[in-house]
Structure 1
Amino acid sequence: MTGLAEEVIADPVGLVVRLIGNVEKHLPAERVRDIALMVVRARAARRSLAQALHDDPSLLRTVPPWQRVPHVAEHPGMATRRRT
């Protein structure tokens, strides 16, 4: 066994969505899931991220607010294109 938590192996993206949702309550789960799938494409990377957040959820709170998921959600490559 690799030492990964069962939840990490079963549904890494779901775990990431849940943990981020616990911190960023204003973000819809679907949006967080879409971003996670877009940003973290490899299965191994998704599991690594999920395991890191599972082991230490405070990682989501130890950076300034402008560097958390909402910042990523506003990244130009992630936003709906409305440029004129």
Structure 2
Amino acid sequence: MVDEKERILREQLEVIKYRLELLGQIEEKLKEMRALAVYASTNDLSEEEVEKIQEWVDRLQDEIAQLNEEAEVFSKSEYIEPNRIIH
């Protein structure tokens, strides 16, 4: 029984570590988006430059959505359901 509890706790820990890694990646992409927005708002850019920055921001948004979706899948993981948490 102790081995089973330890196994479940280790699995839960790995899932949480992975989710934290995903959240860290999302945070970095959000920081990059903010930097692009600040750059675009504080510089006199050509229409072409604005379009390139917008494409970059759109790509980052897509990447964030993909990472968020992956994190949600893990939040529904059997390893972190309340009835599986070992007290």
TM-score (norm. length: structure 2):
0.28
Please state which structure has a larger fraction of its residues in helix. 2
CA radius of gyration, larger in: 2
TM-score (norm. length: structure 1):
0.28
Higher relative contact order (CA 8 A, sep 6+): 2
